[in-house]
Every structure is written in C-alpha cells, then in structure tokens.
Amino acid sequence: MKEKFYLFRASEDYLSYYFESRSEERTIPKAEQFEKIGADIYNLAFGDLDESREINDLCVSNNQDMNRVLATVVRTALTFFETYPDRRVYFTGSSKARLRLYSAILAREFENWKPVFEVLGMQNGKLAPFEQSVNYEAFIIDRKSI
C-alpha cells in the first residue's frame, strides 16, 4: 500500500500496537493485538479503544481516514512478519461490509504482495488460495520461503 500511515508504537514483543486516528474534529485511539491461536498462527484483532481502554471493533468511527488507518494496520502486520517470519496471521472482519473491504484491498494490492506472501481465503468454511474475484469470510497470511 502506498497510502500514508500513522506513526505507531509497538510493545517489546511486537504483539501489541497503538496509534491514533486524527482528524480536525477528533482523535481516536486504536489498538491491535496479535494473539496465538495455534501452532505458528496468530489472530489479528483490531479496533478502537473504548472508555475502558479495551479494543472494540464494532465501532464505526467515520474519521474520514479509512485508507490511512488500514495502511497503518498493514504496516504493523509487516512489523509482525519481520519479527516473526515463520508465523501466520489469521484475520476476519466484524461485518460483511468490512470483509468486502478487506477482500477488495487484498485484490487491489495483489501484485504487490504476491511475491512475498501466500494468502488463503476462507469461503464456506474452507480455505483456498486467494482469488481476486471472491468475497471471503476470513484470511490467513503466510510469508513465503525460498
């Protein structure tokens, strides 16, 4: 992704991330957490921080910076993969609209990530190599090996 991204902070283990979505109207704290779900595979959870400073991905913040926020998430994912090159990342969306958005971004950036990553898409509970014309329920990203 060529979009600008927000500066972010990482935890010492590079599993937690924090950044702020900024507009003239407001600043929205955002956080991400990579959490192990099985052998070498981590779930990526992402969302706004609510009043209790916990992640809530059901917020629709409408801060007019969606591309920049998603570019930041991509940047943190690259940081994770640089730190943990043999790990996979699983993620899904909290709504059908967000899943369509993630599918569309992966399709749009296909030529950029294809040399470096293998992406599996889940459809009807089954995983298969990512195809640009399909809307998926979830994704698994793996860094390619030589």
Partner 1 sequence: MKQKIGHLIDLSKVVVDPTLKSHANDPFVVRKVEEARRVLAPYLKELADKAK
Q: Which amino acid is at 136?
A: Y
Of 34 and 63, which CB lies nearer to partner 1 in the complex structure?
Answer: 34
Instruction: Say which DSSP state 25 is in.
Output: S
* Residue 2 binds to partner 1 (criterion: CB under 8 A): no
Could you tell me which residues come within 8 angstroms of residue 18 by beta carbon, excluding any fewer than 6 positions away? 8, 9, 29, 30, 31, 32
Q: Compose the 91-110 pattern: x for residues touching partner 1 by CB under 8 A, - for all others.
A: -x------------------
Cβ neighbours around 55 below 10 Å, total? 17
Residue 7, amino acid: L
- Give just the sign of the alpha carbon dihedral 102, 80, 18, 25: negative
Contacts with partner 1 by CB under 8 A: the residue count is: 49
Stretch of 60-68, 103-111, 119-127, 128-136 lying at the interface with partner 1 (CB under 8 A):
119-127
What the block records as the tokens of 48 is: 């706004």
Q: Give the footprint of partner 1 on this chain (CB under 8 A).
A: 7-12, 14-18, 31-33, 35, 37-41, 43, 45, 47, 53-57, 75, 78-79, 81-83, 85-86, 90, 92, 115-116, 122, 125, 127, 138, 140, 143-146
